[in-house]
Amino acid sequence: MAENSTVQAAPERSLNFLEEIIEADLASGKHKSILTRFPPEPNGYLHIGHAKSICLNFGLAQKYGGATNLRFDDTNPAKEDTEYVDSIKQDVRWLGFSWANERYASDYFDQLYEWALALIRKGLAYVDDQPQEEIRLGRGAVTRPGTDSPYRSRSVAENLDLFARMRSGEFADGEKVLRAKIDMAHPNMLLRDPILYRILHAEHHRTGSKWCIYPMYDYAHGESDSIEGITHSICTLEFDVHRPLYDWFIEKLEIFPSRQYEFARLNLTYTVMSKRKLLELVKSGSVRGWDDPRMPTICGIRRRGYTPESIRLFADKVGVAKRDNVIDISLLEWCVREDLNKRALRRFAVINPIRLVITNYPEGQVEELDATNNPEDPAAGTRKIRFSRELYIEREDFMENPPKKFFRLAPGQEVRLKYAYIVRCEEVVKDADGSVVEVRCTYSPETRSGGGNPRQVKGTIHWLSAGRCRAAEVRLFDRLFTESHMDSIPEGADYKNYLNPDSLKTVTARVEEAIDGAYREGALPVQFERTGYFALDPDSTSEKPVFNRTVTLKDTWASISKK
Ligand code: ATP
Ligand code: MG
């Protein structure tokens, strides 16, 4: 069991509403098999919210023997880039999923253009010359109907001619748009003649300068789903008002009836979750990059040491809600503990070391002791660690004037050194400033672990042999923000004001000599016993390994914030 087990694994969970819909569709024969899609816009790196969507789309398809397409929603040439396409593919693969087809909305530009012509011919679309602002004003308000554009009754022939000329580059950006002709008094503002195409003389990352008109999201998305034969198009709640428009295009064009379903987006405490804000954090230097281990990006949490298994477990625990909510980030941390507890190797590391000398231990003597690699997994075996007269222990494990229930080391007090002996603190050595630099102890040889000695002490601490360990840099991370509900920060306030100044603390530590070997055996983080899980950072050099604390062993945050 992980130390903090406030969340219990659910027994058999009941179906979520999407599973219910899919099972009904399969049972009724509406669909023989299901096809979902994950549709990122390649304008940034994916975050944990996207991971939720990936796990949901791919997970549903897996569960019901269907398939999932990866579709890049690249209809906005200005912000999109191939760099992002590559990182998105890497992230989806890392999460453990493979897509049936890699598609791009831009693959469909020809078809979408043909369908726009079809709508014009049916009298369902027209070219509007009004500037953007007039179009906006003409839409009216929720409480007030809009007004028809003076160009709304153009003939089919004139619309066909103007739209072809928009495409051939005759007009400047913003000079004309193509709009659907629906209803300027529709209670749903999105149906008041939405824009289908705008002119943008911009280079596209895939189609180059072939096009100077680009379809709008609403026009492109449903049709792209339909072209691919997507059966269940799953998106976040804010798109529910778009659904009538999604359906309108499919109905008028008489194409494959993809259906859209909405679920609540993932929000996490102490986290901002929008590509725009994450980009700002990178650009302002608030973090070191997209893959800074404090970032909620997939590449950030990967570098931090999170495993794909833990993210999938998290997505499952979060479930599928129909109402917006904010998930406690400690659930994410619980999931990674749960996974790593079973699989991570244990090692000794001493963060913030203090010297311990065993005065009655023979100088020059070294003992090889057996240490368990993972108590949760006997197959992980044991390793040898070397014990000697001069050791390091954590400064936190010693107190000169301890409170009553301090069961670690203090003057006159005994503690067990894990896998080794019981030692007793006899005296301390201080520097000129009065701080303790060395703890001097004696040991009792008959207390060696596993030697059948019945004597018990309350505390056990870990240690390292002073001559048999290496220095390492350790990066201790904390919440990136100080505010739990970043979504409720007042409009206009700069969320960057809520950055936690202590979100990164770099310390030097001592680690077991063969620590790199532990990492070579698998890319998993290692448990530094009694401290937390730590992943080897790519900044490591052969002289000095660098470790990122993935997560502490216990949910210290929850207990502190309750006080
Ligand atoms: P952001 O607002 O962070 O920029 P986005 O919605 O614009 O995200 P897209 O690339 O358009 O990003 O999203 C791809 C898919 O991921 C969409 O289906 C979207 O609904 C889903 N998604 C994005 N953010 C979340 C989230 N927080 N929770 C669940 N799904 C999400
Ligand atoms: Mg988007």
- The domain that holds 240 is classified in CATH as 3.40.50.620
pLDDT attached to residue 296: 98
327 Cα to the center of ligand 2, angstroms? 21
Question: pLDDT band for position 552 (50/70/90)?
Answer: very high
Give the residue whose CA is nearest to atom 1 of ligand 1.
274
* Nearest ligand for residue 49 CA: 1
Contact 446, 453 (CB under 8 A): yes
Indicate whether 101 and 180 sit together in one domain: yes
In ligand 1, which atom is closest to the CA atom of 265? Answer: 28
Name the residue at shortest CA distance from atom 27 of ligand 1.
49
Structural domain for 512, as ranges: 269-345+472-561
Residue 488 near residue 447 (C-beta atoms within 8 A): no
Q: Of 263, 278, 310, which marks where a domain is finished?
A: 263
Q: Does 41 qualify as catalytic in the annotation?
A: yes
How far apart (Å, rounded) are the C-alpha atoms in residues 140 and 425? Answer: 80
Is 405 labeled as catalytic in the residue annotation? no
In a domain, 2, yes or no: no
Q: 3-state class of 152 per DSSP? A: coil
278 and 197 housed in the same domain:
no
99 found inside a domain: yes
Of 387, 384, 388, 386, the C-alpha closest to 370 is 384
- The per-residue pLDDT for 563 is 38
11 contacts: CB under 8 Å, gap ≥ 6: none
Per the CB < 8 A criterion, the answer to whether 246 and 219 are in contact is no
Q: Where a domain ends, among 462, 492, 525?
A: 462
14-20 — which CB contacts under 8 Å span 24+ positions? 16/319, 16/320, 17/320, 17/322, 18/56, 18/60, 18/232, 18/234, 18/261, 18/263, 18/320, 19/60, 19/63
Residue 109 covered by a domain: yes
Where b means 16+ CB within 10 Å and e means fewer, 177-199 reads: bbbbbbebebeeebbbbbbbbbb
More confident residue, 37 or 274: 37
- Residue 557: its pLDDT value, please? 52
Ligand 1 nearest atom to the CA of residue 234, by list position: 18
* Protein residue with least CA distance to atom 15, ligand 1: 40
The CATH number linked to 507 is: 1.10.1160.10
CA distance 38 to 439: 58
DSSP-assigned letters across all residues of 195-211: EEEEE----BTTTBTS-
Which domain CATH number covers 448? 2.40.240.10
Pair of tokens at residue 131: 């500037």
- Which one of 53, 263, 311, 314 would you pick to mutate in the ligand 1 pocket, going by the greatest count of ligand atoms within 8 A of its CB? 53
What pLDDT digit, counting tens, does each position of 115-128 carry?
999 999 999 999 99
Provide the 8-state DSSP code for 445.
G
Ligand 1 atom closest to Cα of residue 236: 20
Phi, psi (deg, nearest 5) at residue 381: 75, -160
Do the domain assignments include residue 357?
yes
Identify the residues whose C-beta falls under 6 Å from ligand 1: 39-41, 49-50, 52-53, 73, 235-236, 265-266, 273-275
**Pair of tokens at residue 18:** 């999407």
Residue 54 has pLDDT above 60, yes or no: yes
pLDDT band per the 50, 70, 90 thresholds, residue 11: low
Count: domains in the chain: 3
Residue 3 is assigned to a structural domain of this protein: no
Q: Which atom of ligand 1 is nearest to the CA of 267?
A: 27
- The pTM of the full predicted model, rounded to 2 decimals, is 0.93
Q: Does the pLDDT value for residue 39 go beyond 80?
A: yes
Q: Which of 41, 134, 426, 473 is catalytic?
A: 41
Nearest to 113 by CA among 160, 69, 55: 160
Coil/strand/helix, residue 438: strand
User: Cα(163) to centroid of ligand 2, in Å?
Assistant: 27
Res. 560: pLDDT tops 50: no
| Residue 2 pLDDT | 41
Find residue 36's DSSP bridge partners.
68
Q: Indicate if 160 and 216 belong to the same structural domain.
A: yes
Q: Which residue has the tokens 């103007």?
A: 162
Last residue of one domain, picked from the residues 206, 236, 263: 263
Output the pLDDT for position 450: 86
Reported as a single tens digit per residue, the pLDDT across 414-434 is 999 999 999 999 999 999 999
The three-state DSSP-derived secondary structure of 289-333 is: CCCCCCCCEHHHHHHHCCCHHHHHHHHHHHCCCCCCCCECHHHHH
What is the tens place of the pLDDT at every residue in 190-242?
999 999 999 999 999 899 999 999 999 999 999 999 999 999 999 999 999 99
> How does pLDDT run across 242-260, given as a tens digit for each residue?
999 999 999 999 999 999 9
Q: What is the pLDDT of residues 83-120, one digit of tens each?
A: 899 999 999 999 999 999 999 999 999 999 999 999 99
Residue among 200, 194, 193, 195 nearest 214 (CA): 200
Task: Indicate whether 467 belongs to any domain.
Answer: no
Q: How confident is the model at residue 455 (pLDDT cuts 50, 70, 90)?
A: confident
Annotated catalytic residue within 275, 303, 304, 475? 275
Which strand (E) or helix (H) includes residue 511? strand 504-512
**Three-state secondary structure call for residue 442:** strand
Q: Rounded to whole angstroms, how far apart are CA atoms 447 and 456?
A: 9
Considering the domain architecture, whether residues 525 and 489 belong to the same structural domain is answered as yes
Between CA 347 and CA 510 the distance in angstroms is 11
Within-domain flag for 506: yes
**pLDDT score at 492:** 82
pLDDT at 9: 52
- Is 355 in the same domain as 413? yes
Q: How many other CB atoms sit within 10 Å of the CB of residue 311? A: 25
- What mean pLDDT is reported for the chain? 93
